[in-house]
Amino acid sequence: MGQQVATKTAIPLLASWGWDDRIQAPTSKVIENHKTLQNLRWEAATTIDREFKDVLQFVAPSCDNFHCHSSRIAMLFIRTCVEIESCFKSILSENHVSKNRQKNISDFSRVELSHSLSRFSARIHGWHQPSFTFLPFQDWTSAVNLADGKAPSPSWYKAYGKVKHNILETHKYGTFENLCHAIAGLHALLVSQFGHDGWGPNRGSIGFYHAPEYECVVGDVVEVRFPPREECRIIYDLPKTWDFQIEPFNYS
């Protein structure tokens, strides 16, 4: 993981450790704009979540069905990855990363430096193998050149690159396995960005697996585990107040 750093500045568009060891949500813009972004992300994610639940009516949540594919699964896979890309672009833009060119997964991997995404895991409710967890950004765990954009691309994201350019001929890459990893990745990214709490109506712990470290944030299908402090690349050690200056995170 490399040396862990504690900082009181340079908070990216995510949350910071504080209050009962959960992450809160300061940002370099006014709080109203931050909450507006939260709401927009929540609306998009809940729509994806509802469509995913529809898929689960026809494809049982099991590792045995990982190779299942269809045009409907492929379309939802694309939609989910588009939302993931939008989240990454928002984080980089908020922290003043250049907007002069199109971003790709190499650029997105730099967010691992601030968000420790490789340490997030997720579970899908009703999974036939109860102990199975998804680690959508695990490929970035040992990456040492994140700032240079040389981190490996997750396999499910590579598949997305094939499907989105020619879905008619490559929808076989839009598998149930890749969709599940993308869904888990979106949920993990949202938790890393906005925290567990304060999302839409009736947010809170569901605990399908009786594991208190896993919680639902969007919908009622996917639970996310936020990594403990000792697993994170950076600890945001901030005062428990909003009246301090937030600076952009330096991804270089």
Tens of pLDDT along 34-84? 667 777 888 899 999 999 999 999 999 999 999 999 989 999 999 999 999
Q: What is the pLDDT of residue 19?
A: 33
- Does 68 fall in a domain? yes
- Does 188 fall in a domain? yes
Q: What is the pLDDT of residue 192?
A: 83
How many domains does the structure of the chain reveal?
1
| 8: amino acid identity, one letter | K
- Does 252 fall in a domain? no
The mean per-residue pLDDT over the stretch 106-122 comes to 89
For the record, the structure tokens of 215 come out as: 């919680």
Q: Is the pLDDT of residue 13 over 50?
A: no
Q: What is the pLDDT of residue 142?
A: 72
Condensed to tens digits (0 to 9), the pLDDT of residues 182-210 reads 999 999 998 887 776 544 444 443 333 34
Q: Is the pLDDT of residue 172 over 60?
A: yes
Gap between the Cα atoms of 233 and 220, Å rounded: 29
Where do we find the tokens 């997964």? 105
- Does 242 fall in a domain? no
- Does 34 fall in a domain? yes
Enclosing domain of residue 108 = 5-236
The mean pLDDT value of the chain amounts to 76
Lowest mean pLDDT among 23-37, 122-136, 150-164, 209-223: 23-37
CB atoms within 10 A of CB 232: 19
- Does 122 fall in a domain? yes
More confident residue, 89 or 10: 89
Q: Is the pLDDT of residue 130 over 50?
A: yes
Gap between the Cα atoms of 194 and 13, Å rounded: 8
H or E element in which residue 187 lies: helix 176-194
Gap between the Cα atoms of 220 and 40, Å rounded: 18
Q: What is the pLDDT of residue 31?
A: 53
Q: Is the pLDDT of residue 239 over 80?
A: no
For 65-92, b/e burial (b = at least 16 CB within 10 A) is eeebbbebbbbbbbbbbebbbebbbebb
Q: What percent of the chain has pLDDT over 90?
A: 33
Binned at pLDDT 50, 70 and 90, residue 18 comes out as very low
- Does 243 fall in a domain? no
Q: What is the pLDDT of residue 15?
A: 42
H or E element in which residue 110 lies: none
Q: C-alpha dihedral over 37, 154, 57, 74, to 10 degrees?
A: 90
Lowest mean pLDDT among 55-64, 153-162, 163-172: 163-172
